Structures are given as structure tokens and as C-alpha cells.
Amino acid sequence: MPERLFCGIDGGGSKTRIALCDDQGHRLGLTVAGPTSLTLRGPGAWDVIVEALRGLCATVGREAGDFSEVHFGIGLAGVNNTAQRTLFIEAAPAVAALHVATDAYIAALGAHQGAPGAIVIVGTGSVGYRIEASGASRLVGGWGFPIGDEGSGAWLGRAALAQTLHVVEDRSPVRASEMHRALIERCGPSRDALMGWVRGASSTEYAALAPLVIECAGRDDPAALPLATAAGVEIDALALALDPGRSIPLSLVGGLAQPLAPYMPAPLRDWIQEPHDEPIAGALMLAQGWAPDESLAWRGE
């Protein structure tokens, strides 16, 4: 009988982490690939996943084959869009089992080991998520860039660049700072260069500006510091929407959760706790059948 393999996938707007386990639950290996957010890639996310998984199988000495014996647990940004989710599932290759959820669900599973609790993801995008004691889940935010993703890398990078353009044209009360000069150097020294950058930039490109803004904020840059603080306030708003009483377990996850922590309101910093495990662990829980499929509710429904 062919060996059963379990694949956990955590896909966002900047990168994708893919882990492979054997039938005994031993992790065989992990690899990192490019973005697989459905908002950015759509069904083409499978191209990234398949190529990366074949490479991972080769690295750990497993036959990639056609994935017919692989059980998948996949958490992706953009899955909360039903149409995108449907197209992604329809484009799937033949596999042994396929469980598709939001990246927020697998993050919450990993953070609280499947128990009730809440998380806020702070990465390229942002979203708040809560698993209820009943097993149902609730999501806030996650509307995507540019209309949502408040407090995220994309939100912060866009706000900083927009302010920079106003400063350059003397349309802002904010004075030119190190942050503005660094962004001009990064995105283009002329109007034509800046226009070309802006027209071609995705949420991933805007999010790539966020570390520069946070670095400047750490040096008390007078323009960057208020922007980083505003991002912290937005993250707190997502958390409060999940639990106004600040009583349930809450963890922050994502690449910018730690860098932005100093700029978050004190009540939020006092509330958050370290996650038990990373989102990829939640994806593997789905793949192995140790967690139920996502049951997501929205207050507007």
C-alpha cells in the first residue's frame, strides 16, 4: 500500500509555508514558496503549491507522484471569498483528501491547540478571528487591500507612501523626514518613476515598505512614529471586535505582529499571549483530521 502523506499549507500575500508529515505524524520537512493568497493568485495558487511540494518531496526522499495519497490541510488568505474558494477547489489536482480553510482558522488552531480563543493576523494583510466554545468561528476584517487590511503591512506601506507624495508636493503639514527620503529612494526619484511603481504595486509590494517605516519609527522619526502607532490602534480595534471584554485568550501572529508590538495600546499588550504553535501546525491538524473543517459565521448574515 502506498505511504500516506499529510501536507499542511499556510499561504499569504508575501509567502507560503508548506510542511509534509508521514503517517505517524512525524514532520518530514518544510519549505517556503511565494505568495498563494487567492486575492493575488486565484486558482493559479496551485502552480506555486505543486512546484514547491514536488521540490520538498525530492528533498526529503519521498516520491512526489501525482499526490493521490497526500492529505491536504490548506489555509490561505482570500478563502473567505466564496467564489475564490470554489475556483481554487475546482482547480485542485487529484488528492487523497482536501481541507481548505482561511489562513485565520489555521492560525487560531495552531495558536490555541484547537481550543477556543482568538487571534489577529498582522502580516501583508490583517484579520481577526475567534473560535467559539461551540466550535463555530467568527471573522472580522479580512476585506483585503485596499479597502481593508487595517494595521497590516500593506496598509502601513500605502499610508506612508501616500503621505510621502503629499510631503514632496508641499500638500502636507508633516515635514519631510528620514522616512520620506527613504521611501522616495526606494520607489523612485522622479514623478514618472513613482507613477510607474504605484501603478504596478500590489499589496505585497506595499507591505514590503512596512519594515522601513517601522525601522524609522524605532528611531523616533516624527512621520513614521504616528503611522506605526496608528497601525497599533487598528490592530487593537480588530481584537476588541472579537472580545470587547478582553477576557478570552488572544494571540497575535504574522510577520509584523512582533515588530509592531511596541506601538500597540498598553491594554492590548497586556492581553496578548504567546501562541502555542504556528499556523502551519493548524494546517497539519486539518490534514490529519485532528480538527474539524471550518464553520465560519459573519454577523451580517
- Domains, the chain, in order of start with CATH, read 5-113+276-297 (3.30.420.40), 115-274 (3.30.420.40)
127 has which bridge partners? 121, 141
Give me the pLDDT at residue 253, please. 92
- In angstroms, rounded to a whole number, what is the distance separating the alpha carbons of residues 275 and 221? 31
Mean pLDDT per 10-residue section of the chain, whose length is 301 residues: 81 89 86 90 91 88 78 91 91 92 92 93 91 86 86 96 91 89 91 89 92 97 96 97 94 94 97 94 92 71 45
Quote the Cα angle for 117-121-126, to 5°: 130
* pLDDT tens for each residue of 59-89: 887 776 778 888 999 999 888 888 999 999 9
pLDDT for 168 equals: 86
- The pLDDT score that the predictor gives to residue 301 is 45
Torsion of CA 188, 189, 190, 196, to 10 degrees: -10
Give Cα 102 to chain centroid, integer Å: 10
What was the pLDDT predicted at 22? Answer: 85
What CA–CA distances, in Å, run from 73 to 3, 106, 177, 226, 259?
17, 9, 46, 39, 29
- Residue 204: predicted pLDDT: 87
Give pLDDT, residue 118: 95
Q: How far is CA 229 from CA 10, 54, 236, 239, in A?
A: 28, 42, 11, 16
- Dump strand ranges (E) for 67-220: 70-76, 97-102, 117-122, 126-131, 137-141
pLDDT of residue 112: 94
pLDDT recorded at residue 137: 87
Which residues, other chains included, contact 49 with Cβ-Cβ below 8 Å and sequence gap of 6+?
A: 9, 11, 16, 18, 33, 36, 74
pTM: 0.84
- Please tell me the predicted confidence (pLDDT) of residue 1: 42
pLDDT for res 283: 95
So what's the pLDDT on residue 64? 67
How many residues are there in the chain? 301
